[in-house]
Amino acid sequence: MLEKGWNPRLPADTLRKDLIDINPTASRFKIILDKVKHHAKQSPKKLKDSYVGPFIIVDLHGINAVQVELSGELEHKHPTFPVSFIKPYQPAHKELFHLSNPTHLAVPPVEHNEDKKIKKVIKEGRLRGKK
């Protein structure tokens, strides 16, 4: 049973429903644990949509950081990551992930309207006065 000296730093599996009925702070503790678990399941924002690998490891910075070679649209991101974020590359299985294959959509036909004529062709594209 819970006493005055109850320590809220218990593992999540030790928190039972009958404890919540006895001590109201136990229910708040369960909510905190759930939020912590949810936060732990999230991937790092730096590579959230960038698990497209494989990336080539260029350099090791000490024992805790790795510099990888980024190219294409990922060039603007900082190339140094903690070692805990690095995972071995496993090629995708096409049988399991058949929806990740690019689909080819048919382009709808363009309607030509001969009534409209082009008045002027602009050589330079400008946006708000800038080139």
String of DSSP letters for 74-90: GTTS--EEEGGG-----
Q: Are residues 36 and 51 in the same domain?
A: no
- Is 66 a domain residue? yes
* Rounded CA separation 58/83 (Å): 13
- Is 93 a domain residue? no
The reported pTM is: 0.34
- Is 53 a domain residue? yes
Q: Are residues 64 and 37 in the same domain?
A: no
Q: What is the pLDDT of residue 24?
A: 53
> Could you list the residue range(s) of the whole structural domain that residue 65 is in?
47-85
- Is 33 a domain residue? yes
pLDDT of 74 over the 70 cut: yes
Q: Kindly give, in sequence order, each residue whose CB lies less than 8 Å from that of residue 34, ignoring residues fewer than 6 positions away.
A: none
pLDDT tens digits for 87-106?
Answer: 777 666 666 655 555 556 66
pLDDT of 2 over the 50 cut: no
pLDDT band, residue 31 (cuts 50/70/90): very low
How many distinct structural domains can be found in the chain? 2
Q: What is the pLDDT of residue 22?
A: 52
- Stretch 6-27: mean pLDDT, rounded? 51
Q: Are residues 31 and 57 in the same domain?
A: no
- Is 129 a domain residue? no
- Is 67 a domain residue? yes
- Is 5 a domain residue? no
- Stretch 31-47: mean pLDDT, rounded? 54
pLDDT band, residue 44 (cuts 50/70/90): low
- Stretch 24-40: mean pLDDT, rounded? 51
- Is 102 a domain residue? no
Q: Are residues 34 and 20 in the same domain?
A: yes
pLDDT of 66 over the 50 cut: yes
Report whether 79 contacts 63 (CB < 8 A): no
95, 70, 65, 96: which is closest to 83 by C-alpha? 65
